[in-house]
Structure 1
Amino acid sequence: MTLPPAAGAVVHAPSTPSSEATDRLRLLVGSPRLAFVLRRLLRALISLVIVLVASFFLVHLVPGDPVRAALGPTVSPDTVEALRGQLGLDLPVAQQFGNYLGGLLTGDLGVSVTSQRPVAATLAERLPTTLVLSVLSFLVAALGAFPIGVATAVSARGGRRRGLDLGVSGLLGLLVAVPNFLLAVLLVYVFSVALQAFPPAGWGQPAQLVLPVVALAVGPLAYLARIVHVEMLRVLDAPYLTTARSKRLPARLLYLRHALPNIVAATLTAGGVVLVGLVAGTVLIETVFVIPGIGSTIVSSITAKDYPLIQGVVLVYALLVLAANLLIDLALAALDPRSAIAEA
């Protein structure tokens, strides 16, 4: 017979394997914040390993011979077999995977089947372009979202200007729903073909940055603006802001000091989603505008069945996405250390 706990006794919840592992990690490193960072790094490493294994074996399931596709149908079988042996593609898949992992540890990503160049060199040339496109688009989205979201929330506070609020919300929702590649085609038609204001393709000149950045940033800008709008409306009706408003504080002080700091966490979380989406969105935008970046590279490598190049591009995209998520987690932990300590 099990007796109930005595009055005033503290009942401890049964420990789980994850909580026990967390406690051991805390004791090992001696700092909850460091334990939080190490847990995040461990999760990122596990995710990266999963992506590497999945991408390698899925690529090898694609039908077709990458060497034959690279050399063409008229090349002799002996030439094809010689190149397959040179690239190690004649080995069993498990052995190829072991060689691939061994190369990764030394920074060797293999040799492209189509160009016969080291994959690392190709990625080093094209990665800066994708990073510039992603960062510029994120800055445009973030810098545009805050004023739009704050202004519409302030104007709609207390149910005022209901029509304006619904109109802006509807427009932002529409912009979020429009695919970026469709917007890119529309921008090219209007501003390159009809108005001839900007180049339709290419990269390197300032004018060639405008249309790709706008096409990639419009959807995230609208998404972030909706988040800022909703969070700002919630904060404006909070009791502490009503108290601050009753003290006749200037609008600049009221919104900048009391309102905006309380929407940063939610907006930063949404910003992480946006940043990851921007990195993935470069694939289509670079293809539409013929930009020599990582996105267009993965399209051409898939078409050519270039195994080493596909795996290298997937690795880079996985690293970018994981790094973006890690940075957002660390930024949120810096804003609210108590939540990081509790989670660690």
Structure 2
Amino acid sequence: MTAPPVAVTRRGGLPAGVRNPWLVFLGRRFARLVVSLAVLVTLAFLMIHLVPGDPVRAALGLTAPAELVEARRESLGLNDPLIVQYGNYLSGLFRGDLGVSMTSGVPVVDTIGQRLPASASLGLSAFVVIMVSAIPLGLAMAVLTRGGRRRGVELGFTSTSAMIAAIPEFLLAVGLIFVFAVTLGWLPVAGRGGLDSYLLPVLALSAGPTLVIARIVRVEALAVFGQDFVRTARAKRLPPWRVYFRHAFPNALTSTLTIGGLLLGSMIVGTVLVENVFAWPGMGMTIVQSILAKDYPLVQAAVLVYGLAVLLVNLMVDLLLAVVDPRSTIREA
């Protein structure tokens, strides 16, 4: 009679031949990021070739001499074969060269470097407001309305949040300007100045996502409150704050982070319209002006910047989900 096989383990407690699930998870996530970046870069490159018409002629004007247009095309390398242009484009990206603006002749990197900090400060401010406000608000509403209590509070919260979240960011921005800047005169109408200039654009960007995420937190928290481990924690007479924040809150985060990541990704794109409403000197105004002027190198750079921001937000959400629910890494391994 042979002895049963003994599992050979290696350092770290994993059986021999089993890969580290965290390494597998991180490897797959970064591989997806690289593939997504490759697709994004390719689409941004093809943009200038798929749009009907001659971008150089559009940038210089219909009355520009043909010799000037041809010289401009030659200087930009647009007369080279497509594969050569693509190789030069990738080479420029690795060197940090995004090309030259067709209208101003200024390197695109310089324009992005001047405008990106304003957009980044606005987007990060809105992100902080959303995270600091949405999760506590959702938990508070779940505690107040658990077990069918306070129907009036629940109805008021769900109705108000649904109404505000349905308002587009640019329309909410116009309403905020009319009330707080034009009518009351409390805050500046437009431009980037002191802290008071951030209040209205940050509120326009964060109001909808805050309420949507708060509703998700509330629904998820109510579902967790009915679980056996929460009832057991209450039976042990643990302090309420410990029951809610130590036991219930982490288990309600999974769906919240997943949907919240999608909302934050859309919020990044929504900053384009809000910045134009408030005449914010960021990437939003640059994108609109470059589209109107058919300045495709600048449009390409803006697409890359915003696309990369959305990809990084999604990567951060995936990493946070893995920290909150480590079982997801094991399943992927």
Q: CA RMSD in A?
A: 2.0
Query: 1:259 matched to which residue of 2?
Result: 248
Corresponding residue number in structure 2 for 1:22: none
The offset of 1:181, in angstroms, is 0.7
1:277 equivalenced with 2:234 (yes/no): no
Q: Matches of 1:90 and 1:137 in 2, distance apart?
A: 44
Cα offset, 1:333, TM superposition: 1.3
- Please state how far the C-alpha of 1:96 moved relative to its aligned partner: 2.4
Q: Which amino acid aligns with 1:301?
A: S
Read off the aligned partner of 1:177 and give its amino acid letter: A
Range 281-290 or range 80-89, more displaced: 80-89
- Contact 1:65–1:305 (8 Å) recurs in 2: no
- Distance in 1, matches of 2:45 and 2:97, equals 15
Q: CA deviation at 1:69?
A: 3.4
Cα distance between partner residues in 2 of 1:35 and 1:103: 32
Unaligned runs of 5+ residues in structure 1 are 1-25
Find the residue that maps to 1:323 and give its secondary structure.
helix
- Deviation of 1:308 after TM superposition, in Å, equals 1.1
In the alignment, structure 1 residue 174 sits paired with structure 2 residue 177: no
- Paired with 1:123 and 1:293, the residues of 2 have a C-alpha distance of 9
Distance in 1, Cα, partners of 2:226 & 2:326:
26
Cα deviation for residue 283 of structure 1 reads 1.1
Partner of residue 79, structure 2: 90
Q: Greater CA deviation, 217-226 or 30-39?
A: 30-39
Match of 2:97 in 1: 108
Q: Following superposition of structure 1 onto structure 2, how do residues 199-238 of structure 1 map, counting pairs within 5 Å? A: 199-238=188-227
CA contact (8 A) 2:24 2:332 kept: no
Matched, 1:301 2:290: yes
Amino acid across the alignment from 1:77: A
More displaced, 297-306 or 58-67?
Answer: 58-67
Partner SS for 2:64: coil
**Is 1:186 aligned to residue 175 of structure 2?**
yes
Shift in CA distance, 68/204, structure 1 to aligned 2, threshold 3 Å: farther
Mark the CA change 1:57 to 1:139 in structure 2 (over 3 Å): closer, same or farther: same
Structure 1 stretch 318-327 or stretch 211-220: which is displaced more? 318-327
One-letter amino acid of the structure 2 residue matched with residue 102 of structure 1: S
The one-letter amino acid of 1:45's match is V
Cα distance in 2 between the residues matched to 1:336 and 1:157: 24
The answer (yes or no) to whether the contact 1:60–1:307 under 8 Å persists in 2 is no
Determine the C-alpha separation between the residues in 1 that align with 2:50 and 2:205.
32
2:47–2:300: 8 Å Cα contact kept in structure 1? no
**Is the Cα contact below 8 Å between 2:108 and 2:298 reproduced in 1?**
yes
For 1:161 and 1:220, the matched residues in 2 are separated by 24
Please tell me whether residue 245 in structure 1 is matched to residue 234 in structure 2: yes
Q: Deviations over 1:118-144 (max 9, x none)?
A: 111211222222221111111111211
How many Å separate the matches in 2 of 1:171 and 1:335? Answer: 30
AA matched with 2:261: G
Deviation at 1:74, TM superposition (A): 4.0
In 1: Cα distance, 2:331 partner to 2:147 partner:
36
Partner of residue 54 from structure 2, selected from 28, 41, 65:
65
Distance 1:249 1:341 in 2: 31
TM-score (norm 1): 0.86
Letter of the structure 2 residue corresponding to residue 291 of structure 1: W
Are the aligned partners of 2:48 and 2:55 in contact in 1 as well (CA < 8 Å)?
Answer: no
2:5 aligns with none
Segment drifting more, 95-104 vs 127-136: 95-104
Identical amino acids, percent of aligned pairs: 51
The 1:189–1:325 alpha-carbon spacing in structure 2 relative to 1, beyond 3 Å, is: same
Q: Secondary structure at the match of 2:35?
A: helix
Larger deviation: 177-186 or 51-60? 51-60
Any unmatched runs of 5+ in structure 2?
1-15
Deviation at 1:323, TM superposition (A): 1.0
Q: Offset of 1:92 from its aligned partner? A: 4.1
Per the alignment, in what secondary structure is the counterpart of residue 202 of structure 1?
coil
Deviations 1:152-206 (A, max 9, x none): 1111111111122122111111122111111011111111111111111111321
- How far does residue 30 in structure 1 lie from its aligned partner after superposition? 4.6
Q: For the residues of structure 2 that align with 1:59 and 1:197, how far apart are their CA atoms?
A: 44
Q: Which residue of 1 aligns with 2:313?
A: 324
Which amino acid in structure 2 is aligned with residue 69 of structure 1? A
Deviation at 1:94, TM superposition (A): 3.9
Determine the C-alpha separation between the residues in 1 that align with 2:214 and 2:313. Answer: 20
